[in-house]
Structure 1
Amino acid sequence: MQIWTVLRPVLTVAAVVVVLLVLDRVVSRVLRRLTTAHPEAAAWPVLRRCRVPFLTAAGSALLLAGGRLAVPGAGVVRHVLLVAVLVSCGWLAARMVALLLDTWLSRYSTGPRDPARVRRVRTQASLLGRVCGAGIAVVTLAAVLMTFPAVRSVGTSLLASAGIVGLVLGVAAQSTLGNLFAGLQLAFSDMVGIDDVVVVAGEWGKVEEITLTYVAIATWDQRRIVMPVSYFVGKPFENWSRRGPGITGTAVLHLDHSTPVGELRAEFERRLDTHPLWDGTGRALQVVDTTPSTIVVRALMTARNADDAFELRCWAREELIRYLRHHHPAALPRLSFTEAPATPEDQVAPMVAVATRS
């Protein structure tokens, strides 16, 4: 009888291990065949990452069910197995949420490419994943704590004052909750998304990361600007790629009034036709203003994105100035100094001075 009492837990563990090995082999073979048949699906890597939490949850559940029959007096072991089941189920739920979000995102990434729509879906999937992950973690922790009798009794006594506690927590976490709802509003209102080109507080950059509390923006000089999510909900900012990445670049030149604008316009269009960064949509060279000493010439050119537009602006300035320096150097702005003509008062002044001395 004593030998059987020792063998029953060992046999139970061995049986559970055998079941898990068979289950793992079957699931791995099925996943391998599905991956071979549909290698383009982006959900398979995430589904493989569900293997460990699934086996952990199944093994803990089987041991918990078998342990009640084999070792009914081992309360500590049953409690540890119960906690393992709850934690592994929460782990598996988080992986399944990631699987669903990746499947949703892959539908837009593999279909007809709409960059603005893909960025919007990526932003929404990222924030939904963070919210669901935080919710699953809180629920799992609460379920684990409720398995302890002392915590359960304390929770029952505090249930009567839950309204007051909730009010205090709401006031204390007002900023955090505000950022949370602002992040959800930011994702689903399509104001800004990951990889969008924005201008915030006078700084130009690309949205690198959006979390529940902050937005990280990578600037052109490799700096990172971290702004609270609530800033984008309550203050104005520029989004250069909200509906599409295309943008118009401008290059402004101050030239002399004698500049041959027509010839300069023809040269600008001729050179722009051969530039690979111009998207062929629009272009113009116009005199937009004058000053007492110069004219203001503005060159417009469209590009596929903000980076190409910046390169085109720099190229246009350099090429137009080079052309004028070689062919029309007088068109470049200069400062003229001439002697003012003599007035009658200037001629009378020396005569008055001579009369005074005499």
Structure 2
Amino acid sequence: MLWPLASLLTAVLATLFAGWLVDQVLQRLAARRPDAPVWGLLRRCRVPLQLVLLAALLLAARPVHRVLHSDDAAVRHGVLLVLIASLGWLSVRVLAAVLEAFLSRYETVTEDASRVRRVRTQLGLVRRVGSAAVWTVTVGALLLTFDTMRTVGTSLLASAGVIGIIAGIAAQSALGNFFAGLQIAFSDTVRIGDTVVVDGQQGTVEEITLSYLVLRLWDYRRLVVPVSYFVARPYENWTRRDPGLLGWALLHLDHRTPVDELRAELERHLAGSELWDGREWSLTVTDTTPSTIVVRAAMTARDPDTTAALRLAAREHLLAYLRDHHPEALPRVRTEQDRTEQDRP
């Protein structure tokens, strides 16, 4: 009885030592190569790696059945299940670490924000598809270790065609979202971080999965939209090519408004503002009514959030300028009485 216990203890200690040794090696590699984040990310694989090593040692030494007083075949089958599941877990962790390291490296060498968002979206979907494929294979391998599943396998394969047709009809919506998610990822129509408008709701793309897309709205609510929506319907993407936008603010003013002075004041305000990107600006009269004129102040900024803040600040500044220097330019309701009515008895 002492020899099986010693063998089991040796296997556990060897597994712990191997995990510690691999972690130390990865830690030193990460310190020597800070520009290669893959070594630091691979340290997350320590636990599944230790489970794989322990299961492999137990299958090779076979000391467990004597300690547990169990049937040898049952114990080996249980250890084999642990080994297969641990291999699947390790594969998913390695895939996630490699993809995340590639993205981190890409972000350091690429200055184009739109390309970074596109690669982040594509790698996110690749990670989800790869993880789903690994777990599917893992579950299949686990089931095939049972004799009953291998016996039923022949009949299942014979009826696979009919089952596939039925499953395809039942999961038509899910499959449509799945392929729509792949199309979005690799067609570069919408990416994580893009500002889009869906059914009048403006939001920032926060997450893209194989079935739905999450938008963060201006008031921090989350709008969950099926990914098939972005394939079948039109929508606005404000940051697909260039995150910069042209914002505008409308002012309804009196006809006596000094437009030239207002235009000069807008130029001075934008020159001293940190929100303006220095590209474009304008102030023009776009419409007139019997009582007012419509003045449009347009200006550019580096991203949608900054554009919104800039146009709000510009509107407040122009109104305050007119109130302090040209109060006659603010719209008012005239109630002048007709002279002919005053002469009547």
Q: 2:5 aligns with which of 2, 5, 10?
A: 10
Tell which structure's C-alpha radius of gyration is larger. Answer: 1
Q: What corresponds to 2:72 in structure 1?
A: 74
Deviation (angstroms), 1:303: 0.7
Q: How far did residue 32 of structure 1 move?
A: 2.2
Alignment equivalent of 1:133, drawn from 122, 131, 134:
131
Is 1:43 paired with 2:38?
yes
- Number of residue pairs matched? 341
1:80-139: CA deviation from partner (whole Å, max 9, x where unpaired):
011111101100110111022112201222223221111111111111111111111111
Taking the TM superposition and a 5 Å limit, the aligned residue runs for 1:196-275 are: 196-275=194-273
2:220 and 2:25 map into 1 onto residues whose CA distance is 45
Q: 5+ residue gaps in structure 1?
A: 1-5, 351-358
Paired residues of 2:125 and 2:185 also in contact (CA < 8 A): yes
Alpha-carbon distance in structure 1 between the residues aligned to 2:184 and 2:306: 27
Amino acid in structure 1 at the alignment position of 2:36: A
In the TM superposition, residue 15 of structure 1 has moved relative to its aligned partner by: 4.1
Question: Residues of 2 paired with 1:162 and 1:339: CA distance?
Answer: 89
Q: Which moved more, 1:245-254 or 1:64-73?
A: 64-73
Counterparts of 1:29-178 in structure 2, within 5 Å, are: 29-67=24-62, 74-178=72-176
Q: Does structure 1 residue 20 correspond to structure 2 residue 15?
A: yes
CA contact (8 A) 1:246 1:304 kept: yes
What 5-or-longer segments of structure 2 have no aligned partner? none
CA distance in 1, matches of 2:64, 2:290: 100
Matched AA of 1:116: S
Q: Is the 8 A contact 1:8 1:70 kept in 2?
A: no
Q: CA deviation at 1:258?
A: 1.7
Counterpart AA for 1:335: V
**Counterparts of 1:192 and 1:246, CA distance in 2:** 16
Matched residue, 1:283 = 281
For residues 114 and 223 of structure 1, the distance between their equivalents in structure 2, rounded to whole angstroms, comes to 28
- The TM-score normalised by the length of structure 1 is 0.89
CA distance in 2, matches of 1:40, 1:195: 25
Which residue is equivalent to 1:327? 325
Q: 1:12, 1:70 within 8 Å by CA — same for their partners in 2?
A: no
How far, CA to CA, are the matches of 2:218 and 2:325 in structure 1? 35
Please state how far the C-alpha of 1:275 moved relative to its aligned partner.
Answer: 0.8
Compute the RMSD of aligned alpha carbons: 2.3
Tell me if structure 2 keeps the 8 A contact 1:250–1:300.
yes
Q: TM-score, normalised by structure 2?
A: 0.92
